[in-house]
């Protein structure tokens, strides 16, 4: 069974990823933080999430899936946002879906395409 995690903020994300026992396979979905309505302030993230969620069953059983809330709109838009500056994340847009530690990344509207999400989840580095 896929191990799912949900964290808010850069520090919580770093702690989670640092605590995973290597070697591990993880896919990370970066999204805007949720508002009191339960939806993200980011409309693109809200549009992409159902597509990503429907493809989760394609992930390998022993892998990790991490949802990371990057912060409110002001935090995300700040050019010095830690998620933008970190060489491991280097986020340019949200939503972003990454295979952790690998170059495979989907950004923005790409996360709304089931065939791309499925490919990211199912193809290994060896394919």
| Residues facing 51 on adjacent strands | none
**Residue carrying the six token digits 């770093």:** 14
Phi (first) and psi of residue 98, to 5 degrees: -125, 145
Chain centroid, CA 12 distance in Å: 14
Calculate the dihedral angle through the C-alpha atoms of 53, 54, 56, 57, rounding to the nearest 10 degrees.
150
Question: Annotated catalytic sites, by residue?
Answer: 42, 45
What is 17-59 written as a DSSP string? HHHSPSS--EEEEEEPPB-TTSSBS-HHHHHHHHHHHHHGGGS
């Amino acid at each position: 069974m896929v191990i799912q995690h949900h964290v808010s903020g850069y520090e919580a994300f770093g702690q989670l990823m640092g605590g995973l026992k290597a070697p591990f396979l993880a896919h990370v979905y970066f999204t805007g933080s949720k508002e009191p309505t339960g939806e993200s302030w980011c409309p693109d993230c809200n549009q992409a999430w159902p597509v990503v969620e429907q493809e989760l069953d394609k992930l390998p059983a022993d892998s990790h899936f991490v949802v990371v809330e990057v912060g409110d709109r002001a935090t995300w838009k700040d050019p010095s946002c830690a998620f933008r500056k970190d060489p491991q994340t280097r986020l340019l847009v949200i939503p972003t879906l990454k295979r952790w530690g690998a170059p495979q990344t989907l950004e923005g509207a790409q996360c709304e395409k089931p065939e791309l999400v499925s490919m990211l989840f199912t193809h290994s580095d060896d394919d």
